[in-house]
Amino acid sequence: MNDNKQIPTLFEWVGDITTFETLFTKFYDKVLKDELIGGLFEHMSPEHVAHVTHFVAEVFGAGELYSVGDQGSHARMIGKHIGKMLTEQQRQRWMNLLIQTADEIGLKSDPEFRSAFVGYLEWGTRIAVINSQLTSNPMNEGAPMPTWGWGETKGPYIES
């Protein structure tokens, strides 16, 4: 065993930003055609796909693509979901379409990566549903961006 070997970030394991761009572009093509969740995204900005791509890539260790490159923040991403009244069925469809797209584009499928990938998606989408029921953003602008790695667990989500 080589103890000097650096464990790659999830982003490095995926390969590069092009893989994330392909994943989210193809995913949102499916989303827009979906009868359950398509309407939620029919008026999304032209930058939406890039922002989500950069957000997830940054969470997985790509560097500050969203927070600096897009001038975004975790609070700003949370704010996008406030008042949307998302349902569990919509969350599940979003998840299913993204995992289906990941398989279709050949995203790494080793159990360790997929466990981390799906773990983050489950965590993030469940928080999105919780926040979508609120009328104001519980996150302050200075809150750090989330990070996700190999085997993350986060504490309980506390509403303010």
Q: Give the DSSP per-residue string, 2-45.
A: -TTPPPPPHHHHH--HHHHHHHHHHHHHHHHH-TTTHHHHTT--
51 assigned to a ligand binding site: yes
Q: How many CB atoms lie within 10 A of CB 158?
A: 6
Q: Could you list the residues known to form a binding site, using ranges.
A: 51
Q: Could you list the residues known to form a binding site for heme, using ranges.
A: 51
